[in-house]
């Protein structure tokens, strides 16, 4: 009951000195607003980056060939020298082969959903009659199409026969159709297009049209007509065009949804190096996953946000000192009031509680205004940057708690000074 009475007294005192109260709270407002704004922007950026990277496949494990690091070797004569890879280009025995993938799948059938394989053919220009469009030609297998979850608007994906026989079929984007087929995906089906790659002409029949995702493309200053979209071929078709019969320098393993990607990544890397590359003097297998990259990126952005928030929070200390200063002034002004209360039998604890509550009320009001201002600034900044607003609930809760702690911490000394005041001296004070 006494606390509510003190809160009422504190609010009455603050109303009677509105300008002084506002100036006192200004440091708290600015400090809290800075922290909330920074954390809101950081949280929004983190969620946006995480969402974008997760869309690229958190269950995907990229396995690639890399040169073995140089090692220090000692000869029989005692001479030490640096030994490294003796070969700079991959030979046939260095590549990842279909046989290797079959053995990996046989070893871990429950952890692997598919192998996503690609063969880059290059950038070129697709032509149909007197129209053209820029394309990036890539050969893909069924696992790639499954892993990337292409949305087919018209037609079909590659059939088993397309993949096995290396048919001259192609899947193009709806943006491609805008440039060549008047934006009509159905009109593109069955039509033969000519693609110029390295001054060579290749002819493909369009069998499917997929939905082009603008967000998946990198920023480009070119007009929409000049943007190069992916043109997919059956994997074997692309390999035959590249005269590649060796295998793959990089593959992607699509892990099952229940698989611990981070743990399985290390398992696959160890298994392949031991089973297939143990005797290879020049190359070894290295694996990484989007999940580990997402985790690292999230941790880095969180650390940066917290570091900036701590720097911004220094102004809270300045605000706290301002609160202490104004409380000391308030006690000086109300010396006779304090003396009267003590003369009437008020305990030291009651006097102390009154001024601590007043200090906490000032800081809490400043904290609430700071939170509202910080949210407004943070959401405005996020909107300008083009991200989806995502306020940090934890930072709001911490800020409210921190405001209370500042009120108690910086209000205790003035309150304790008031509580220890001699009532006779206080009543004599002019």
10 Å Cβ neighbour count for 254? 20
Question: What per-residue confidence (pLDDT) applies to 232?
Answer: 97
14/4 Cα distance (integer angstroms): 15
123/136 Cα distance (integer angstroms): 4
In residues, how long is the chain?
430
pLDDT < 70 positions in the chain: 1-6, 9-10, 13-14, 49-58, 70-88, 214-225, 291-294, 312-313, 423-430
Write phi, then psi, for 254 (nearest 5 degrees): -90, 110
Prediction pTM value: 0.59
pLDDT in tens, 169-227: 999 999 999 989 988 999 999 999 999 998 899 999 999 999 998 644 344 444 455 78
CA 298 and chain centroid, separation: 5
Question: What per-residue confidence (pLDDT) applies to 289?
Answer: 81
């Amino acid at each position: 009951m006494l606390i509510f009475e003190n809160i009422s007294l504190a609010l009455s005192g603050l109303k009677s000195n509105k300008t002084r109260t506002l100036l006192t709270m200004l440091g708290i407002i600015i400090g809290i607003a800075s922290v909330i704004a920074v954390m809101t922007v950081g949280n929004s950026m983190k969620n946006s980056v995480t969402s974008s990277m997760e869309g690229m496949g958190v269950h995907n494990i990229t396995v690639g060939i890399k040169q073995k690091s140089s090692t220090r070797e000692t000869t029989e004569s005692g001479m030490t020298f640096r030994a490294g890879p003796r070969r700079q280009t991959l030979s046939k025995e260095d590549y990842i082969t279909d046989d290797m993938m079959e053995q990996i799948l046989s070893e871990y059938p429950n952890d692997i959903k598919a192998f996503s394989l690609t063969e880059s053919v290059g950038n070129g220009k697709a032509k149909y009659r007197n129209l053209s469009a820029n394309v990036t030609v890539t050969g893909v297998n069924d696992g790639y199409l499954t892993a990337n979850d292409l949305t087919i608007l018209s037609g079909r994906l590659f059939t088993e026969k397309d993949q096995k026989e290396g048919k001259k079929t192609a899947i193009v984007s709806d943006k491609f159709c805008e440039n060549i087929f008047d934006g009509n995906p159905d009109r593109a089906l069955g039509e033969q297009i000519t693609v110029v790659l390295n001054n060579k002409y290749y002819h493909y029949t369009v069998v499917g049209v997929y939905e082009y995702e603008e967000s998946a493309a990198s920023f480009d200053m070119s007009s929409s007509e000049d943007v190069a979209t992916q043109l997919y071929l059956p994997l074997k078709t692309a390999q035959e065009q590249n005269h590649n019969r060796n295998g793959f320098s990089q593959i992607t393993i699509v892990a099952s949804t229940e698989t611990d990607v981070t743990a399985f990544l290390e398992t696959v890397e160890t298994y392949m190096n031991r089973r297939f590359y143990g005797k290879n003097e020049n190359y070894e297998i290295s694996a990484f996953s989007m999940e580990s990259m997402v985790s690292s990126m999230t941790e880095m952005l969180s650390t940066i946000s917290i570091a900036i928030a701590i720097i911004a929070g220094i102004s809270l200390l300045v605000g706290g000192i301002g609160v202490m200063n104004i409380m000391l002034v308030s006690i000086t002004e109300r010396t006779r009031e304090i003396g009267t209360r003590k003369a009437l039998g008020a305990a030291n604890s009651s006097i102390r509680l009154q001024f601590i509550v007043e200090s906490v009320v000032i800081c809490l009001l400043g904290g609430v205004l700071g939170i509202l201002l910080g949210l407004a600034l943070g959401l405005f900044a996020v909107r300008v940057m083009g991200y989806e607003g995502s306020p940090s609930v934890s930072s709001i809760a911490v800020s409210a708690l921190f405001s209370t702690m500042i009120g108690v911490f910086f209000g205790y000394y003035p309150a304790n000074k008031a509580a220890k005041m001699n009532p006779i001296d206080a009543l004599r004070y002019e």
